[in-house]
Amino acid sequence: MPTLDPGIGEKFSRRTQRAINHDGTFNVRRRGGPHQHDPYQWLITMPWWPFIGIVVVFFTVLNVGFALAYIALGLDDLPGVAAPHGWWQDFLSALFFSIQTFTSVGYGHVYPGSNGSGFLSSVEALVGVLTFALATGLLYGRFSRPTARILFSRTALISRRADGTPCLQFRIANLRNSILIDLQARVILKTVDEATLDQRYDLLPLERSAISFFPLTWTLVHDITPESPLYELQAEDYARLGIEVIVQLKGYDDTFAQDVHARNSYTHDEIEWHRRFIRAYEVGDDGIAVVNLDQVHDTEALR
């Protein structure tokens, strides 16, 4: 059966921080190992501003390089270059010619007038076109990455069902204006043994672990029955045991044709006791249901 346990138990010398952050990333660092180059993946997952910066820097460095090469050849090889010739003006002229070649603009007021500059500008033209082919692929790679936008309630609740059964609940909504289908959830409880600091993982069965459609909100419920690892635990136990409730979601976004994965966790101080969720949707006069995403976190005390 799938488990969170990544090895034969998990033995640590200290208590760890939360395993999963609210953005779904893991609190784990790596060290060592063989060289690992994934330049493409690095380029398409980095935030936008550094990416644009890298593109501009790369473009500039390449063109400065070619500009210096044209200068080395001698600017007599580029008829039409602006006068007067000083080293700074020459550099700018060579740089502009380089950029006009690299980007295939090729005005022609400055042109390669020797075999040397003809060859160098031919090489630069090829490099330029291939560079922009590469940029096209990178841009598309960046854009087409799946982006799950699941909103989790800020807190999880220890609540009570109509029949009195205590239960652990949290709520999710789809932030995007799209249809999520076949959404499946798995919830795992992580506890820490106070003596050995061993970490233990238990599956928390849900009232329903999957829904066909997800247009409104979904409240995931784990009944705290005698079989539940949470049975008869009090709030102070949650803190003492370093409890972390780990959620894994998987579905399919049918509007954007993407798989959706999302993770989140609730540490003991993010669990509220004896509260329940207030309904976050209503029906307008026209009979169409409206979800109010701001209300996903709203709870009220149990009476």
Site for a copy of itself in 137-166 (CB under 8 A): 137-141, 143-147, 149, 151
x/- binding map, residues 160-199, to a copy of itself, per CB under 8 A? -----------x-x-xxxxx-xx---x-x-----------
x/- binding map, residues 249-288, to a copy of itself, per CB under 8 A? -x-x-xxxx-x-x-x---------------x--xxxxxxx
Strands 281-283 and 180-192: unpaired
Between 32 and 47, CB nearer to a copy of itself: 32
CB of 74 to a copy of itself, least distance (A): 16
- Interface stretch with a copy of itself, choices 108-116, 223-231, 233-241, 267-275 (CB under 8 A): 108-116
Q: Candidates 126, 239, 278, 302: give the one binding a copy of itself (CB under 8 A).
A: 126
CB of 238 to a copy of itself, least distance (A): 18
CB of 143 to a copy of itself, least distance (A): 4
- Interface stretch with a copy of itself, choices 69-77, 91-99, 227-235, 264-272 (CB under 8 A): 91-99
Strands 180-192 and 150-152: unpaired
Q: For tokens 């890298």, name the residue.
A: 54
Q: Rounded CA gap, 219 and 171, in Å?
A: 4
- Using CB under 8 A as the binding rule, whether residue 303 contacts a copy of itself is answered as no
Phi/psi for 179 (5° steps) reads -100, 120
DSSP state of 286: T
Between 70 and 111, CB nearer to a copy of itself: 111
Q: Rounded CA gap, 111 and 117, in Å?
A: 9
CA nearest neighbour of 176 among 248, 260, 289: 260
Cβ atoms within 10 Å, residue 288: 7
Exposed, middle or buried by CB within 10 Å (0-12, 13-18, 19+), for 264? buried
